[in-house]
């Protein structure tokens, strides 16, 4: 969410980001605060929401958004270990 909001800020686009996990919502807010200069007018155009996107999206009119970017469905990707890089070594 933070990367998309940051890109919106630097392109002077209005951005809405919805994050389910309070930890990552707070991190997203800090990223925008730190990584987007205060004098950049796009910084004030970002709207970050902590909640379930399935519920939060219902609060907007049907034609409110021009473009929506989503992440994979809710699953524990943030706690998953990537095993693709691990190799088995056979000693002869």
Tell me how far apart the alpha carbons of residues 15 and 83 are, in angstroms, rounded to a whole number.
34
**What count of other Cβ atoms lies within 10 Å of the Cβ of residue 8?**
22
pLDDT number for residue 91:
47
pLDDT of residue 63: 92
| Residues in the chain with pLDDT values less than 50 | 87-92
Query: Tell me, what's the pLDDT at 69?
Result: 82
| Tokens 């943030």, located at residue | 78
């Amino acid at each position: 969410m933070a990367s998309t909001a940051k890109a919106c800020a630097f392109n002077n686009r209005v951005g809405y980001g919805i994050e389910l996990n309070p930890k990552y919502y707070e991190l997203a807010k800090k990223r925008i605060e730190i990584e987007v200069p205060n004098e950049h007018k796009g910084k004030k155009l970002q709207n970050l929401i902590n909640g379930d996107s399935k519920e939060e999206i219902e609060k907007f009119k049907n034609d409110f958004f021009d473009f929506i970017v989503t992440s994979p469905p809710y699953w524990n990707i943030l706690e998953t270990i990537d095993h693709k890089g691990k190799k088995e070594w056979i000693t002869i």
